[in-house]
Amino acid sequence: MTGILPSYQRFVNGVPVPSISRRSFRLREKYLIVSVLLTFGIVWLGALFYLPEFKSSSSVNDSVYKVYKHIQKAGPELLMPPPLAQNDVGDPGIIRHGGGEDPHIIGDRNRLRAKIEEDMGMKVLERPQFDVVPSVSSSKGPQKNPVDAIEEPDAANNGGSKNISPSGPKADASDKYVAVALGPNADADQISKLETIKGMMRHAWNNYKLYAWGKNELKPISKRPHLSSIFGGGDMGATIVDGLDTLYIMGLMDEFREGRDWVAENLNINEIDSELSVFETTIRFVGGLLSCYALTGDSVFKTKAAHVADALLPAFETPTGLPYALINPSTKVSRQYHWAGPNSILSEVGTLHLEFTYLSDVTGKEVYRQKVDRIRDVLHKIEKPNDLYPNFINPRTGAWGQKHISLGALGDSFYEYLLKAWLLSGKRDNEARIMFDIAMEAALDKMLKVSPGGLSYLAELKYGRVFEDKMDHLSCFSGGMFALASTTLENTQSERYMDVAKKLTHTCHESYDRSETKLGPEAFRFTGAVEARAQKSNEKVYILRPETFESYFIMWRLTKDQKYRDWGWEAVQALEKHCRVEGGYSGLVNVYHQRPQGDDVQQSFFLAETLKYLYLLFSEDELLPLEQWVFNTEAHPLPIKSHNPLYRLHQPSPMDNQV
CA–CA distance, 244 with 252 (Å, rounded to integer): 9
CA–CA distance, 393 with 282 (Å, rounded to integer): 19
217 counts as catalytic: no
CA–CA distance, 205 with 209 (Å, rounded to integer): 6
Measured from the Cβ of residue 195, the count of other Cβ atoms closer than 10 Å reads: 15
Q: Residue 132 carries which DSSP code?
A: -
Measured from the Cβ of residue 8, the count of other Cβ atoms closer than 10 Å reads: 10
Q: Is 526 helix (H, G, I), strand (E, B) or coil?
A: strand
Alpha carbon 298 to its chain's center: 19
CA–CA distance, 349 with 353 (Å, rounded to integer): 9
Half-sphere CA count of 548, side-chain side, radius 13 A: 31
Sign (positive/negative) of CA torsion 652, 654, 657, 659? Answer: negative
- 73 phi, psi to nearest 5 deg: -70, -30
Q: At what angle do helices 478-488 and 412-424 cross, to 10 degrees?
A: 30
Consecutive H or E run containing 116 = helix 103-122
Q: What angle is formed at CA 334 by the lines to CA 333 and CA 337, rounded to 5 degrees? A: 140
For the CA atoms of 498, 500, 506, 510, the dihedral, rounded to the nearest 10 degrees, stands at: -170
CA–CA distance, 552 with 566 (Å, rounded to integer): 10
| DSSP line for 444-508 | HHHHEEE-TTS-EEE-EEETTEEEESEEEGGGGGHHHHHHHHHHHS-STTHHHHHHHHHHHHHHH
CA–CA distance, 66 with 71 (Å, rounded to integer): 9
Integer distance in angstroms from the first to the last C-alpha of the chain? 61
Farthest-apart Cα atoms in the chain, separation: 109
Strands (E), 285-393: 326-327, 334-335, 344-345, 392-393
Alpha carbon 639 to its chain's center: 19
Q: Taking a C-beta distance cutoff of 8 angstroms, is the pair 398, 320 a contact?
A: yes
Among candidate residues 507, 471, 485, the one with its CA nearest the CA of residue 554 = 485
- 17 phi, psi to nearest 5 deg: -110, 125
**Catalytic residue selected from 522, 539, 547, 634:** 522
Q: Per DSSP, what are the bridge partners of residue 581?
A: 584
Among candidate residues 186, 294, 194, the one with its CA nearest the CA of residue 612 = 194
CA–CA distance, 290 with 120 (Å, rounded to integer): 31
Q: How does strand 530-533 pair with strand 523-527?
A: antiparallel
Catalytic residues: 522
